[in-house]
Amino acid sequence: MKAVIQRVTHASVTVEGDRVAEIANGLLILLGIGPEDTEENARVMTKKIAALRIFQDEADKMNLSVRDIGGSAIVVSQFTLYADCRKGNRPSFVGAAAPDLASPLVDRFAELLNEQGVPTQTGVFGAHMDVDLLNSGPVTILLEM
């Protein structure tokens, strides 16, 4: 399981002209699922993400979590995080999980993050999504479990 976690001032996801997710301060999480990933991977990762101290406190130090600031999250499925570009110029995605494993695990990931106290929305699995965000900082964290 791989995640790109971006601290955002705002973010939204649009599919075919319809806005399907939108948040103010919080996290935009691009999530890739591998074939060996399980709910336990998702549980460990969501616990870590909910507690990551990447928001500024009153002393302007990164010392607060998304929960501490009352922020939200959007989770966007991103199989391209498993791109293998070592050979040729066309990425291979054989390292990504099949949709029948990935789709329910992305949904479960969002549920688990919500259970961690982070209101969480999602994009639409398998759809062409337009993701709009304002990365604050910028702060971008790569996390792999």
Q: How far apart are CA 54 and CA 66, in angstroms?
A: 8
Task: State the catalytic residue, choosing from 9, 80, 93, 140.
Answer: 80
Instruction: Please say if 55 is a catalytic residue.
Output: no
List 6, 14, 46, 78, catalytic entry: 78
d(CA 32, CA 78): 5
What phi and psi values does residue 119 have, to the nearest 5 degrees? -55, 125
| Active-site residue (options: 14, 55, 79, 109) | 79
Quick check: helix, strand or coil at residue 129? coil
Phi/psi at 88 (5° precision): 65, -165
Residue 122's CB is within 10 A of a number of other CB atoms, namely 21
* Catalytic-residue membership of 79: yes
- Point out the residues that are catalytic: 78-80
